[in-house]
Amino acid sequence: MRNIKKIHKAEYRPMGDLETWSPLPTRNLQMIDPFIFLNHHGPQVYPPNNNGLPFGPHPHRGMETVTFILDGDIAHKDSGGHKSVIESGGIQWMTAGSGLIHAEVSSDKFKKEGGPLEILQLWVNLPKRLKMSAPKYKGLQDDQISKWKNENGSVKASVVSGSFKGIHGAFDTPTSVNLATIEFKKNATLDLEIPTGENIFFYVIKGKLEVNEIEVPELHLAEFSKNDEKLEIKALEDSTLLLGHAEPFNEKVVFGGPFVMNSEEEIQQAYEDYKAGKMGEWEG
């Protein structure tokens, strides 16, 4: 079985009244190439007449955002002309590429009525050859996401990208990133084989899982070595897992706020291009 190097607890980083946990990056773990950032918002309940999510217009370049709406909704708008409201179970995939401006806020209905909210946003790096590719966006509702389940229904997966147990993911992506969210009933088991050349992103959203005989509780991320292909997962209680795996790019990564590039000079250029309107104009 594949060895676990370390279990990392997500750091608590609230954003005003938005509960937020961040397992990546932290003081002890910078990235799991090509997975570079994860924010876990909620779970929490918003009252009626709330202000909703605080993510007004902001730019990105050089990476992708994958947003999982576990509960609540997100109203997306970007400078490429895309608009959508994605609800519980749905997913948004945005390839920022050369750059665009987007906003992720709550729908008018959610702000008026309130309700439960839980959202994950994962940043996936783009390799140098794709940093300046044309931006793209796609939002899918829950019933548009590829599904897999085992024979007795005790394990169910939403297959986002790549493949899972022979099921092709709902999103076609510019790199070979495999992503799925997996729900387990207590005592359910799942065996997987992941190539040793690929890095694994294993974050327990809720519940408690045992993977390769090591317990990983909710709000924790498991960091794996690359000694073997096998993962043996058992649910110690009802649980939800975000699972990713991909070949690393092995390139220098430089963060500059909302931009992820390969050098400081490219970060400076991104800010200049944004100020010059080269990532599109924002219409309020």
The per-residue pLDDT for 281 is 86
Give the amino acid at 37: F
How many Cβ atoms are within 10 Å of 14's Cβ, its own excluded?
A: 10
What's domain 4-275's architecture?
A: Sandwich (2.60)
Give, in order, the Cα–Cα distances in Å from 272 to each of 131, 255, 267, 279. 16, 15, 9, 10
Residues belonging to the binding site are: 58, 60, 102, 104
Residue carrying the six token digits 């795996």: 245
What is the rounded distance in angstroms from the CA atom of residue 6 to the CA atom of residue 173?
29
The per-residue pLDDT for 261 is 98
DSSP state of 79: T
Averaged pLDDT in 10-residue chunks for the chain of 284 residues = 96 95 95 98 97 96 98 97 97 97 97 98 98 97 98 98 97 95 98 97 98 97 96 98 98 96 98 96 80
Q: Is the pTM of this model over 0.85?
A: yes
Beta bridge partners of 156: 149, 183
- The C-alpha angle 197, 203, 209, rounded to 5 degrees, equals 105
What is the rounded distance in angstroms from the CA atom of residue 163 to the CA atom of residue 179?
8
Identify the three-state secondary structure at position 108.
helix
The per-residue pLDDT for 283 is 78
Identify the three-state secondary structure at position 52.
coil
Residue carrying the six token digits 């430089």: 254
- The C-alpha angle 104, 63, 199, rounded to 5 degrees, equals 115
Residues belonging to the binding site for Fe cation are: 58, 60, 102, 104
